[in-house]
A = this chain, B = another copy of it.
Amino acid sequence: MNAIEPAAAKRRTWQRDAVRDALLERDGFVSAQMLHSALRDAGSTIGLATVYRALADLAADGAADHLQHDGESLYRACGSSGHHHHLICRSCGRAVEISADAVEAWARAVAAEHGFRDAEHVVDVFGTCADCARAAD
């Protein structure tokens, strides 16, 4: 009856579960390719396209964070469900969730000041974490 929302009947498959689980096992951002080869190495026969689809769905459902760096999309299981940002190690991919109300307010204010609507913001900090910095010396 509802032509606008076709109910989006999502089916549960072991593939989707595998992707979600694999994502939960890590505490840093990973690319679809990395996740795919990790799953393959673990014996799974899951296809690459399926990993891409599953990750896109998780991100759309808010169950995963998504960001782009250096030409590739990175995903991470989303811990705190609210809006937040990340401090990411450029070497090992480990990420720390950070929230900053001040930044949110600033972004909103700047957009409003210039007459922009529906503002979204991209705020991420990349650096080298203490462990990786030590390892590099």
Contact = CB atoms under 8 A, between A and B. Distances in A.
Contact of A116 (B87, B117, B120): B87
Contacts of A98: 110
Instruction: Tell me the number of copies of this protein.
Output: 2
Contacts of A69: 68
A115 B100 contact: no
Contacts of A116: 87, 89, 125, 127-130
Interface stretch (A3-11, A50-58, A101-109): A101-109
Contacts of A121: 123-126
Given A71-B73, A98-B110, 17 more contacts: A68-B71, A71-B71, A87-B111, A87-B116, A100-B106, A103-B106, A110-B125, A111-B125, A114-B129, A115-B130, A116-B125, A116-B127, A119-B126, A120-B125, A120-B126, A121-B124, A121-B125
